[in-house]
Amino acid sequence: MGKLQREGIWNTVISYAGIAIGYVNTILLFPNFLDEAQVGLTRLMLTISVMFAQFSALGFVNMSARYFPYFRNKERQHHGFLFLLLAVPLLGFALATGLFLLFKPVVVDYYQAKSPLILEYYYFIIPLALFTLLFNMFTAYLRSLYKTIVSSFVQDFLLRILTTLLISVFALGMIDFREFVLLYVVFNSAGALVLVAYTIWLKQFFVRPMWAGLRIIPIREMLYYGFFTFLGNISTTIITTIDQVMISSYSLSDNGIYTTAFFMTSAILVPARSILKIAYPQVADFWKDANMGGMECLYKNVTMVNLIVGLLLFIGIWANIDNIYSFMPDSYRAGKYVVLFLSVARIVDLATSLNGVILATSEKYRWDLAFNIVLAALTIWTNWYFIPLYGINGAAFASMISYSFMNLARLIFVQLIYNMQPFTWSAAKLILVAGLSLGAAYLLPFLGNVFLDMAVRSLLIVVLYGGMSTGFRIYPALNDWLRQQLYSLTGWKL
C-alpha cells in the first residue's frame, strides 16, 4: 500500500468518525438545546474567522505546497522555511486585525437591525481567527511533510468531541450562553496548539530565520506567487462563505437552519478532503519531476474514488432526509432543499476536485486566479439575486451554480492546456448505478419506525449500489482491493 493510499485511508476513517460525532452535534444537540439564532451565531463566528484567516495568510498556505519540495532538508532545518511560512501571515494578521477594528461601524450597520447578537461577540472573533490562521499554516507545513493524520484527527474528531462535551455542559445548565461562546472559542482555538506540539514532537519545529535559504527560491518569486494565490484565496473564500454572511444579515435563525443543512452535506466531501491533503504535495512533486503521466493517473483515480464514496453518501442522505429531520424541531425542515442543491454542488466538486490543485501548483496559476475572480463575482451576484427571492433555498441554488461553473471552467482549461481530463465511461455508469439505487430506495414504503426505516433503507442502498458497482467492475481497483481484504480475513480467493 502506497503512502497516498495509506494516509488517505486513515484520513477518511478519522473524517467519518468525526462526521458521526458532528451529526450528533448538529442534528441532535445544537437544534434541541440552542435556538436557531444561537446556532446561527456559532456558525457565523467560525465562518468569519475562516475569512479573517484567509485574508491574513496572504496566499502562503498554497506557497507551502508549491515551494517546500525545494527547501526540504531536515539536517539544514529546511533552510528556515517554517519561519518564512509563519512570519508573513502573522504580519498579515496584524494588518487584517487593524482593518477588522476600523470597519466595525460598517459591520454594525449591516447586522444591527436583524442580527444584533453577532455584535455582542464581535471581539471574540479576533483570537478565533488567529488560531484558525495558525492551524491552517501548520496543517500546510505538516502536509508538505506528508504528515496529515494528526491534523485530520484534531480538526475532524477532537474539536467535535470537545464541542459535544461543551454543549452537553450547556444543556445541563452548568454554564450560560455567553460562557458557552467563550469556551466554544477556546476549544476551537486549541487545535492549533496541538499541531504546534506535534510539530515539536516530530523535531520539525524550525523557526530560526535562515536568510541564506532564500537563495534556493528568491523571496520575490515566492511573494509574487503568494500575491496571486492570495487573490485566488480571497475569491475562493467569498465563494464558500458569502452565502452565510448574506443570510445572517437577514436572520441569524435562517443561518442556523442553513448551516445545519450545509453540514449534512459535508460528509459527501470527506473522501476528497482526506485524499487531497496528501495528493496536494504529490502533485507539486509531479510538477517538479515533470511526471505528467503520473499526474494524469492520479487525476483519474482520485476522481473515481471520490465519486464512488460521494455518490453513495449523497443517495444515502437524500433517501433518509425526512428521517433525519424528524430528530430536529420542525423549523429546520425549511432546509430540506438546501441539502439537495448543496449535495449536487458537492458531487460536481468531487468529480473535478484535483483540477484546482493542478492549476494552483502549475505555472498557469494566474489563470486559476482569473477563474476565481470571475466566479467570486458570480457568487456574490447570484446570492444577492436569489436570497431575497427564495431565502436559504436561493443561497443553496446560487452555490450550486457557482461550484458547477467554477469546476467546469477549470476542467476545460486543464483539458485544453495539459490534455488531461479525469473522466472515463465508468463515471457515467456509476451515476446510473446511483440513480437506480436511489430509485429503489424511494419505492420502499415507510416502515413505521424511524430507526428501523433508516437502517433498512440504508442497507438496501448499500447492497444495490455496492453489488452493481463491483458486479459491473466499474472501478477494477476497488474489486482488487475487496478481493485482497477478503483473502486477508478469510483466506478465500475469488
* pLDDT digits 0-9 by tens, 125-177: 999 999 999 998 898 888 877 777 888 888 888 899 999 999 999 999 899 99
Q: Is the pLDDT of residue 94 over 80?
A: yes
Cβ of 396: how many Cβ atoms within 10 Å? 29
Question: How is residue 183 written as a grid cell?
Answer: 469556551
Q: Give the Cα separation of 84 and 207 in Å (integer).
A: 8
Cell 526540504 belongs to residue:
72
Q: Which residues of 226-262 are buried (b: 16+ CB within 10 A; e: fewer)?
A: bebbbbbbbbbbbbbbbbbbbbbbbbbbbbbbbbbbb
Q: Give the Cα separation of 88 and 136 in Å (integer).
A: 14
* Percent residues over pLDDT 70 in the chain: 87
* pLDDT digits 0-9 by tens, 21-40: 888 898 889 999 999 999 99
pTM of the complete model: 0.81
Supply φ then ψ for residue 216, to 5 degrees: -65, -55
Question: How is residue 51 written as a grid cell?
Answer: 475569512
Cβ of 406: how many Cβ atoms within 10 Å? 26
Q: Per DSSP, which regions of 238-320 are E strands?
A: none
* pLDDT digits 0-9 by tens, 331-363: 999 999 999 999 998 888 887 777 877 877 777
Nearest to residue 262, comparing CAs of 243, 234, 238, 287? 243
Sign of CA dihedral 16, 20, 23, 25: negative
- Tell me the HSE value of 91 on the side-chain side, using a 13 A CA sphere: 8
Q: Give the Cα separation of 343 and 316 in Å (integer).
A: 11
- Whether residue 187 contacts residue 21, with contact meaning beta carbons closer than 8 Å, is answered with no
Q: Is the pLDDT of residue 222 over 80?
A: no
Predicted pLDDT at 492: 58
* Percent residues over pLDDT 90 in the chain: 33
Backbone Cα Rg of the chain: 23
Burial of 471 per CB tally in 10 Å (0-12, 13-18, 19+): exposed
Average pLDDT over residues 193-207: 87
Give the contacts of 425 (CB within 8 A, at least 6 positions apart): none
Nearest to residue 58, comparing CAs of 271, 256, 222? 222
Q: Helices then strands (H, E): number in the chain?
A: 22, 0
Residue 328 CA to its chain's centroid (Å): 24
Of 6-10, 323-327, 409-413, the range with the highest mean pLDDT is 323-327
Q: Give the Cα separation of 399 and 382 in Å (integer).
A: 8
Q: Give the Cα separation of 418 and 361 in Å (integer).
A: 13
Predicted pLDDT at 418: 83
Q: How many residues in total does the chain contain?
A: 494
Specify the DSSP class assigned to residue 149.
H
Q: Give the Cα separation of 311 and 351 in Å (integer).
A: 10
Choose the weakest-confidence range: 179-183, 285-289, 334-338: 285-289
Question: How is residue 221 written as a grid cell?
Answer: 518569486
Name the pLDDT band for 1 (thresholds 50, 70, 90): very low
Predicted pLDDT at 358: 82
- Whether residue 114 contacts residue 387, with contact meaning beta carbons closer than 8 Å, is answered with no
State the chain's mean pLDDT as an integer: 83
Choose the weakest-confidence range: 204-213, 308-317, 385-394, 464-473: 204-213
Extract long-range pairs of 153-159: CB within 8 Å, 24+ residues apart. Answer: 153/14, 154/191, 154/194, 154/195, 155/18, 155/191, 156/14, 156/15, 156/17, 156/18, 156/19, 157/14, 157/17, 157/18, 157/21, 158/191, 158/194, 159/187, 159/188, 159/190, 159/191
Q: Give the Cα separation of 213 and 225 in Å (integer).
A: 17
Cell 473515481 belongs to residue:
304
